[in-house]
Structure 1
Amino acid sequence: MERRKFLKGAAIAGTGAALAAPALAQGGKTLTIVSTWPRDFPGLGTSAQRLAERITQLSQGALRTEYFAAGERVGAFDTFDEVASGNSQAYIAADYYWAGKHPAFTYFTAVPFGMTVPEHNAWIKYAGGQELWDKVAGEFGLKNLMCGGTGAQAGGWFNKEINTPEDLNGLKMRIPGLAGAVMSKLGVSTVSLPGGQIYENLVSGSIDATEWVGPYNDYFMKFYEAAKFYYTAGMHEPGAALAFGMNKSWWDGLSEYEQAVITAACNEETAAQAEEASANNGAYLARLVNDHGVQTRSFSDEVWDAFGGAAEEVFEETREHSPLAAEVNDHYQEKLREIGGWRAVAEIEYSNHRNRILGIV
């Protein structure tokens, strides 16, 4: 109970500037949103709640949102079926949770060695990604938009050091999506747990390791009480994007104005969530290290190479699932090299030299 109060208090403190919804217009439509995050969950949960409020505000009450956190209307991993069936109108989630429905969903959240937030946003908005997402989601009666981005995620929390690929063998780890398949090839027993269940499983020893997001989000999860080794760079989610998945029949029945409002609110929150994480990750990493004795680590080149070899196998297996999975993978990989190629010789080269000259580690 104390931990729950702490989480709620921290979330409220971080979202005190949120604007109240305006007076609701008479006769407006109700938009019921179900989420995979617990209520007042720092970072992800508060972002989802902020988006729900913003849709009502921007529409001046023409779209009245009812927001249900994980477990309040349906379970976290039941949100997909809830919306596809039409029982609710929208979900907020990470679409790689639905890899069991179709593995191509993972590309619209994050894949190993994949796109960073700016690269992913460019692909979705201007390089054909949204059209492919519409194909995949459309097979399940959904229309999906981006509604968040976490930035590059940390490699994860481990109860022992990982110096070689062999150190991964036999570990039990919470890691979803194609990254979980990569880890499985290296001998890891993987599980996909909703965020609200990770802490208890880590503390109890049911899992030995977990990835979550980054220092800002991870700090409030108190993973440091069970695992002291925090790997900072990871291969698994270089820029995880979140999804606002809507029942397509409901979406198609909206006016152009209502669709524009939802799109604008989602675009706004996509930027806001990544910016919020970027602004806070450095400060919260210092808190983890200085206040809680967390030891940061980096994966060795040997471990990175093992990740890379396993990822190649996973991508090929994903392509074999179906023509649509192959189409999404091939397009994604092509655009990753185009978009990432320019960033490599521009922003990344600049950042490397800047950090070297200024002594930024």
Structure 2
Amino acid sequence: MKRRHFIAATGAGLAATAVAAPALAQSAPEIKWRMTSSFPKSLDTIYGGAENVAKQVAEMTDNKFQIQVFAAGEIVPGLQAADAVSNGSVESCHTCSYYYVGKDPTFAIGTSVPFGLNARQQNAWLSQGGGAELFNEFYKKYNFHAIQTGNTGAQMGGWFRKEIKSVADLNGLKMRIAGITGSVLQKLGVVPQQLAGGDIYPALERGTIDGAEWVGPYDDEKLGFNKVAPFYYYPGWWEGGPAIHTFINLEKWNALPKSYQAALNNACANATLIMQGKYDLQNPQALRRLVAAGTQLRPFPQEVMEASFNAANELYAEIGSKNADFKKIIDAMTATRNDQYLWWQVAEFTYDAFMIRQRARR
């Protein structure tokens, strides 16, 4: 190559680089968001889901996309997190969709509904079965986009000051219960109360409520429910696999560079895996400690389970007859559940049932 041609070619290359650099910088802007949680910092596993997201997003974007996490009450109360996102007070929140059934009962299905999906089924439906797309079409009405960011696994049925031996024992019982489950239990005589996590212990202690559900042994132990209610029931048939979500203001989501959207999606997916893994490891040890301290484990009577199942289906039919969004999504969830339990019956349940029996022999 002649010298003048080399100089010309090099100059052109430098010029192209000079032009490209600002474009690259513009594609990776510095963005700072706030994320308000519906959970207190003391619940390190569930609150920690939001912290995991913030940490991973920062790492994946070379600290150019930063999310600051706030515990419930630091910006807004825990049960007002979605409202703060809708109105643009904050860019995002980490919460449970079913806290907002007062707006529309369809919100309940986003987290979990009575006799719904277990954790793996819920994760599969949301990530692979079209569930996330159905919900985000619905959530547009409230000006936010949702990404699953956690799952606790099957929860416990809650703490009670007295034993539950029959459906009759539910009549007049005041219970802290979130989401649509309150309406199911209301059909059986329960008086549902919706309280934030930090308000449950004093209400149980004072006798303002007779029972309360929260999550499972690890978190329940932290909140000390065993000190004020001796009976611990299972299973939490209303939360077989509850999903936690990040809600994002729709305009803020749409304005994010695609690479930042991808980083946030991946961080949320990883946080879901971490949260469920932590609960699966921590719950057995916490349950042992609770029982050793005097907690009395009780299964819900079959009569209560069957009455609750029938009441749930009755309620879904009532709501679905008046609410097209609810019917569309509950029908999709039910179809997924029925398909999944065909497979579970063949492989998953058979394997688990066998291994549970072997545990007693070793």
Matched, 1:305 2:306: yes
1:230-268: CA deviation from partner (whole Å, max 9, x where unpaired): 012121100111010000111011111000010011000
Q: How far apart, CA to CA, are the structure 1 residues paired with 2:297 and 2:219?
A: 16
**What is the number of residues matched between the two proteins?**
335
Q: How far apart, CA to CA, are the structure 2 residues paired with 1:286 and 1:106?
A: 31
1:1-33: CA deviation from partner (whole Å, max 9, x where unpaired): xxxxxxxxxxxxxxxxxxxxxxxxx95101110
Query: Post-superposition shift, 1:42?
Result: 3.1
Q: How far apart, CA to CA, are the structure 2 residues paired with 1:147 and 1:234?
A: 21
Q: How far apart, CA to CA, are the structure 2 residues paired with 1:126 and 1:344?
A: 21
Residue 51 of structure 1 corresponds to which residue in structure 2?
53
| Contact 1:145–1:263 (CA under 8 A) maintained in structure 2 | yes
Q: How far apart, CA to CA, are the structure 1 residues paired with 2:160 and 2:252?
A: 43
| Contact 1:175–1:210 (CA under 8 A) maintained in structure 2 | yes
| Contact 2:53–2:264 (CA under 8 A) maintained in structure 1 | no
Report the TM-score, using the length of structure 1 for normalisation. Answer: 0.90
Residue 319 of structure 1 corresponds to which residue in structure 2?
320
3-state secondary structure, aligned to 1:242: strand
Residue 296 of structure 1 corresponds to which residue in structure 2?
297
3-state secondary structure, aligned to 2:245: strand
1:278-332: CA deviation from partner (whole Å, max 9, x where unpaired): 0011111000011x21000001111111111111111112212321111011111
Query: Post-superposition shift, 1:171?
Result: 0.7
Query: Post-superposition shift, 1:150?
Result: 0.4
Query: Post-superposition shift, 1:137?
Result: 0.7
Amino acid at match of 1:300: P
Q: How far apart, CA to CA, are the structure 2 residues paired with 1:58 and 1:206?
A: 47
Report the TM-score, using the length of structure 2 for normalisation. Answer: 0.90
Q: How far apart, CA to CA, are the structure 2 residues paired with 1:242 and 1:359?
A: 34
Aligned mate of 2:277, from 275, 278, 281: 275
Residue 121 of structure 2 corresponds to which residue in structure 1?
119
Q: How far apart, CA to CA, are the structure 2 residues paired with 1:360 and 1:177?
A: 40
Residue 187 of structure 2 corresponds to which residue in structure 1?
185
Amino acid at match of 2:205: V
3-state secondary structure, aligned to 2:39: coil
Q: How far apart, CA to CA, are the structure 1 residues paired with 2:37 and 2:359?
A: 42
Distance change >3 Å, CA 81–CA 344, structure 1 → 2: same
Correspondences of 1:97-246 after superposition (within 5 Å): 97-246=99-248
Q: How far apart, CA to CA, are the structure 2 residues paired with 1:122 and 1:27?
A: 33
| Contact 2:139–2:145 (CA under 8 A) maintained in structure 1 | yes
Q: How far apart, CA to CA, are the structure 2 residues paired with 1:360 and 1:68?
A: 47
3-state secondary structure, aligned to 1:115: coil
Distance change >3 Å, CA 358–CA 64, structure 1 → 2: closer
Amino acid at match of 2:294: G
3-state secondary structure, aligned to 2:165: coil
| Contact 1:94–1:241 (CA under 8 A) maintained in structure 2 | yes
Q: How far apart, CA to CA, are the structure 2 residues paired with 1:130 and 1:50?
A: 21
Residue 341 of structure 1 corresponds to which residue in structure 2?
342
Matched, 1:37 2:21: no
| Contact 1:40–1:46 (CA under 8 A) maintained in structure 2 | no
Residue 71 of structure 1 corresponds to which residue in structure 2?
73
Q: How far apart, CA to CA, are the structure 2 residues paired with 1:159 and 1:51?
A: 38
Query: Post-superposition shift, 1:360?
Result: 7.3
Amino acid at match of 1:323: A
Q: How far apart, CA to CA, are the structure 2 residues paired with 1:113 and 1:200?
A: 29
Unaligned runs of 5+ residues in structure 2 are 1-27
Q: How far apart, CA to CA, are the structure 2 residues paired with 1:44 and 1:204?
A: 27
3-state secondary structure, aligned to 1:177: coil
1:156-191: CA deviation from partner (whole Å, max 9, x where unpaired): 100011010000111110001121111111111101
Q: How far apart, CA to CA, are the structure 1 residues paired with 2:35 and 2:64?
A: 15
1:215-239: CA deviation from partner (whole Å, max 9, x where unpaired): 1111101001110000121211001
| Contact 1:119–1:340 (CA under 8 A) maintained in structure 2 | no
Q: How far apart, CA to CA, are the structure 1 residues paired with 2:53 and 2:359?
A: 37
Q: How far apart, CA to CA, are the structure 2 residues paired with 1:339 and 1:248?
A: 32
Identity %: 34
| Contact 1:42–1:220 (CA under 8 A) maintained in structure 2 | no
Q: How far apart, CA to CA, are the structure 1 residues paired with 2:355 and 2:29?
A: 55
Unaligned runs of 5+ residues in structure 1 are 1-25
Q: How far apart, CA to CA, are the structure 1 residues paired with 2:345 and 2:137?
A: 30
